């Protein structure tokens, strides 16, 4: 299925930066004027990669926005979400469909219209009567349910430590500015480029696939977030 291939691409790109330890974030959202140079750009590429890994595994909450393009450059999938340790919420646009997702207190939730469930839902929701019953409501599944796509977007930091740990080839790039934040580029041998802030905490600002078709931006580290369960009368159990 095309949507499955896209979701696998997301996991492969995002998890290029998952794992290790260096200084934790101060808990404040990172801005371009957040202070003097933090020295990360003077370190070897391997140490920059370690800082990237640390920021994505320790510095919650965080906002994550991504865009994935096809061969023509047109976006086939975009998402905007916040993560707070194991919990999260966000929105996904894929193939013209819109999906809202929540993970909270041991459950995954997904909300979309009937057309999405017919085209992209689990088998039991792909006929019109079932899709009409859940369309516009929150479909609830057990945590990590294979029938809901929530986990494929929110489980970034749990599944691909090994992918980065097994990559021993890193190359330090040039200083640049990403989304208004001074950063240093660090290329992974097989997973793309990481951009790490050179002011304030050495947080990841962006990851980019080798072909440039997948770009994921990170921001608002430590900013307060609210993740709430949907209203009970709007929830349908899968």
* pLDDT of the residue at 156: 57
pLDDT digits (tens, 9 = 90+) for 117-155: 999 888 899 999 999 999 999 999 988 787 887 777 776
CA dihedral 39, 205, 110, 9 (to 10 degrees): -100
Q: What is the mean pLDDT of the chain?
A: 81
* pLDDT of the residue at 164: 58
* pLDDT of the residue at 168: 77
DSSP for residue 41 = G
**CA-to-CA dists, residue 202 to 65, 120, 224, angstroms:** 19, 38, 20
**Total residue length of the chain:** 238
The answer to whether residue 17 scores a pLDDT higher than 80 is no
pLDDT digits (tens, 9 = 90+) for 179-233: 999 999 999 876 688 899 999 999 999 988 888 888 989 999 999 999 999 999 9
The answer to whether residue 90 scores a pLDDT higher than 80 is yes
* pLDDT of the residue at 70: 86
- Number of other residues whose CB lies within 10 A of the CB of residue 131: 20
Q: What is the pTM of this model?
A: 0.81
Domains of the chain listed by start with CATH number: 2-237 (2.50.20.20)
CB-based contact 148:116 (threshold 8 Å): no
| Omega cis (within 30) before 223 | no
> HSE-up of 156 (CA within 13 Å, CB side)?
31
């Amino acid at each position: 299925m095309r949507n499955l291939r896209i979701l696998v691409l997301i996991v492969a790109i995002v998890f290029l930066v998952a794992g290790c330890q260096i200084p934790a974030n101060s808990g404040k959202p990172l801005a371009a004027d957040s202070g003097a140079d933090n020295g990360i750009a003077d370190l070897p590429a391997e140490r920059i990669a370690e800082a990237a890994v640390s920021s994505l595994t320790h510095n919650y909450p965080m906002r994550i926005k991504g865009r994935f393009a096809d061969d023509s450059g047109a976006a086939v999938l975009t998402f905007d979400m916040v993560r707070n340790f194991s919990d999260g919420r966000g929105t996904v646009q894929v193939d013209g469909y819109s999906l809202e997702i929540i993970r909270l207190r041991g459950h995954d939730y997904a909300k979309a219209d009937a057309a999405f469930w017919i085209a992209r839902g689990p088998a039991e929701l792909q006929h019109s009567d079932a899709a009409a019953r859940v369309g516009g409501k929150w479909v609830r599944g057990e945590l990590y349910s294979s029938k809901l796509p929530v986990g494929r977007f929110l489980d970034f930091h749990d599944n691909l430590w090994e992918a980065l740990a097994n990559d021993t080839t890193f190359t330090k790039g040039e200083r640049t500015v990403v989304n208004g934040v001074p950063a240093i580029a660090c290329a992974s041998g097989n997973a793309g480029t990481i951009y790490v802030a050179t002011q304030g905490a050495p947080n990841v600002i962006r990851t980019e696939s080798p072909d440039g078709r997948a770009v994921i931006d990170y921001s608002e580290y430590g900013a307060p977030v609210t993740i709430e369960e949907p209203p009970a009368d709007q929830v349908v159990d899968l």
